[in-house]
Structure 1
């Protein structure tokens, strides 16, 4: 699941303060996820997916108790390879992203409302 960043919120004195997390080189990051194809009661095919979460790295930890599973560039192809089915191998890939290429900064409260849908968010 490609993304340029993700938000997490820190609770401070009863209010939520949003932070943006991104790669230092500002390249897209890839979240590891799982997907399912299923049929609803009317027989229509549906697709759904979920982003896997992991314990936080040292950049995210002061803000939140978990983070999305971000694949390293070296592991993206393996994660998407349908021929790799060894669950133990895949579990080894699921860990917090290395902190040395990640940064965070506080952002506007505007991100707290899903109705605010601007490109700069």
Structure 2
């Protein structure tokens, strides 16, 4: 799964990496992005890319209560093309969720050791995400979820699931393609080649979402 991540890059680096022209409104780096927070994401409106903020935790358009979002921070890619909550979104509402590392907790007996995980070959990357718009009376809510899959060989030692990180040359296709067949997107996700990871232990300080400073990413020393 993916329950926390970071986005610490300078705004100019994000704009350059994702070929964005407009400044990011109220951009603030974060050492500890958590569910329920607004996250920086990129969609395609059919004509051009649009960047902005979505709340992390999907609230489907048909939901009666927005609290469902706290149960839908991740979506299993293996079944997303079959589930009513995700099938239509996989066809029409795909997004990039921008990050530069994520956290995972490795179980060690009764304890869980948090680790910061980065890509070995590039600093910034994008999770494969889905988004939706929820409306109730005069309230409009735009939310998202991160797609996950079984852990690769590297991640298996840490956790049995991992977020899907798009290869750089697949990002544009993910958001801009007009392909509507959800089963083809399932195949697309299944055949992605994962980048190499690197990781190190961090303090349990990161466990609390209220903690959002350099202490979250400081390497744990013996």
SS in 2 for 1:33: strand
- Give yes or no for contact 2:165–2:194 (8 Å, CA) kept in 1: no
**8 Å contact 1:39–1:45 — kept in the other structure?**
yes
Q: 1:53 offset after TM fit, Å? A: 0.8
Cα RMSD over matched residues?
1.8
Mapped contact 1:36–1:47 kept (Cα < 8 A):
yes
Bigger share in helix: 2
The answer for unaligned runs of 5 or more in structure 2 is: 1-96, 217-222
The structure 1 segments of at least 4 consecutive aligned residues displaced by more than 4 Å after TM superposition are none
Q: Call closer, same or farther: CA 1:120–1:79 in 2, change over 3 Å.
A: farther
Query: Please, what TM-score do these two structures have when normalized by structure 1?
Result: 0.87
Count of equivalent residues: 119
Q: Does 1:34 align with 2:130?
A: yes
Aligned to 2:178: 83
Q: TM-score, normalised by structure 2?
A: 0.50
Give the aligned partner of residue 106 of structure 1.
Answer: 201
Distance (Å, rounded) in 2 between the aligned partners of 1:57 and 1:93 = 17
Bigger relative contact order, structure 1 or 2 (CA pairs below 8 A, ≥6 apart): 1
Residues 12-23 of structure 1 correspond to what in structure 2 (within 5 A)?
12-23=108-119
**Range that drifts further, 86-95 or 107-116:** 86-95
Q: CA deviation at 1:94?
A: 1.6
Gap runs ≥5 in structure 1: none
